[in-house]
Amino acid sequence: MSFARMLIAGLFAAFFAQGALAQGTQVPFGGLRQDASLPVEITADQLKVDQGDGSAEFIGNVRVGQGEMRLSAARVRVEYAAENGEATGRISRLLASGGVTLVNGAEAAEADEAEYSIEKGQIVMIGHVILTQGANALSSARMVIDLNKGSAVLHGRVKTIFKSGGNP
């Protein structure tokens, strides 16, 4: 468990009585509005390519960048789009696992796994999701981010901590 995740989990435990609970919560996610047509840059310790299914797997200290958005994970599988049975070279989706962190500006999210469907402009984060927006924090089991609209919907026992403006 990363230090940031432990710190946020501690905050949730300490302030649980002040937090709001809901089953599905939509939050503005303007900092993660993203142009999915921008180039994707990936670095990693190792790369495995599978010509049979048209995929590539980046392993170890994987860093993905697209515009201002950054994603890091232990593993990222890249699946390429195909037309008429032929690979196009365009990335269709990224499947990240192993301590996924997504950052853009002041907003950051962590999860066990994430799926970024580039053509849809959608990221689904699954498992122990923690979203921080400035001083506010939210957690849930699953979060769906719409990069086109700049919004996110959190699903499954959502917990929130909102810092009020009066106290430092």
Give pLDDT tens digits for 40-84: 899 999 999 988 787 899 999 999 998 888 999 999 999 988 777
Alpha carbons 33 and 68: distance in angstroms, whole number: 10
Do 153 and 25 form a contact (C-beta atoms < 8 A)?
Answer: yes
**Residue pLDDT, tens place only, 75-97:** 999 998 877 766 667 888 999 99
- For 7, the token pair is 């710190």
DSSP conformational letter for 67: T
- For 133, the token pair is 């927006």
The DSSP result for 94-125, as a single string, is EEEEEEEEEEETTEEEEEEEEEEETTTTEEEE
pTM confidence score:
0.76
Give the CATH number of domain 3-161.
2.60.450.10
